[in-house]
Amino acid sequence: MSEKQAPIELIRIREAARLLSVSEWFLRKLAHEGQLAYIQNTDRSPMLFDLADIRKWIERAKIHGNGK
């Protein structure tokens, strides 16, 4: 049997922005710059974000102290 994958959890931009404590505009900027993956079927359909991608972005965005 193949390894089980976690189910994909898609959320709209408003919820994603709230989770990250950023504005929807900032989140759109990240998405359009290629820093955060998203799904959008047409120009008029909502931007959808995978929670797994949001978690990965958070890990990349973390600032780690220098140990002093």
pLDDT at residue 67 in the model: 57
Residue 1 has pLDDT above 80, yes or no: no
* Interval 37-54: pLDDT, tens: 999 999 899 999 999 999
Considering the four listed CATH numbers 1.10.3470, 1.10.10, 1.10.8, 3.30.2310, the one that applies to the domain covering 10-61 is 1.10.10
Residue 5 has pLDDT above 80, yes or no: no
Residue 49: in which H helix or E strand, if any? strand 48-50
What is the C-alpha separation between 58 and 13, in angstroms, rounded? 16
Domain ranges in the chain are: 10-61
Q: How confident is the model at residue 3 (pLDDT cuts 50, 70, 90)?
A: low
pTM to 2 decimal places:
0.79
